[in-house]
Amino acid sequence: MTSLRCIIVDDEPLALNLLQDYIHQTPFLELVARCSSGVEALNVFKNENVDLAFIDIQMPHLNGLELSRMMGDCLVIFTTAFEQYALEGFKVNAIDYLLKPFSYAEFLTAANKAQRQATLINASGSLGNSTLIPKNLVVKSDYKQQIINTSEIVYIEGIGDYIKIHLDTGVSVQTLMTLKTIEEELPENQFIRVHRSFIVNIQKVKTIERQRIIFDHVRIPVSDSYKDTFFRALGIK
């Protein structure tokens, strides 16, 4: 299990206390420092090795978005009471975005995402190795902006002018977009077209039977035009 050294940054003492309590409940997180300003946090970064930062966005002098751009390779989870900052947060490639007030379950879900990311980074040996690092997608669904980490996608289904993104949580997100458009946004080493109506996450493929990929009770056909590329990607001749 990858252990993460953490810092929490918030100008509200109650928010700092809550985050500190949540971190202490989480075995793979180690609290390095708690800071009440972005300037204070920068001084910590100069003297400590920090893997993950929980950062409030709206702070005086140096806000969370500005701070995150000065932290180098540190992973970031934003915590804020203002939903309108969500898209800005993901533009700086944040791991997740926690909207106050958030529960421990929500906190733990975000922390688990950070741990998975850190594990991939350690495996690649470098943050610059983008072939192993998932990215975030922002799609419109039900009049909301949905942020999806590509590592959570099992497969994507094309339904006319819409696509349905099936996640490993069992949830699916439908949005007005074509498979061709979403394919251009996905990490090409991680996702592959197997049918005119399906794209799959190679890392999620565990069982193939009679030229069909089995995900629980779902069977996805691998068409003849895509099968050679698909099996090569899996290392199967």
In the chain, where the domains are located: 4-124, 140-233
The pair phi, psi for residue 14, each rounded to 5°, is: -65, -40
Q: What percent of the chain has pLDDT over 90?
A: 41
More confident residue, 121 or 127: 121
Say if CB 68 and CB 76 are below 8 A apart.
yes
Q: What is the CATH number of domain 4-124?
A: 3.40.50.2300
What value does the mean pLDDT of the chain take? 85
Say if CB 182 and CB 190 are below 8 A apart.
no
Taking the C-alpha atoms of residue 144 and residue 74, their distance in angstroms, rounded to an integer, is 28
- Determine the pLDDT at residue 89: 47
Pick the CATH number of 140-233 from 2.40.50.140, 3.30.70.20, 2.40.50.100, 2.40.50.1020: 2.40.50.1020
pTM more than 0.85: no
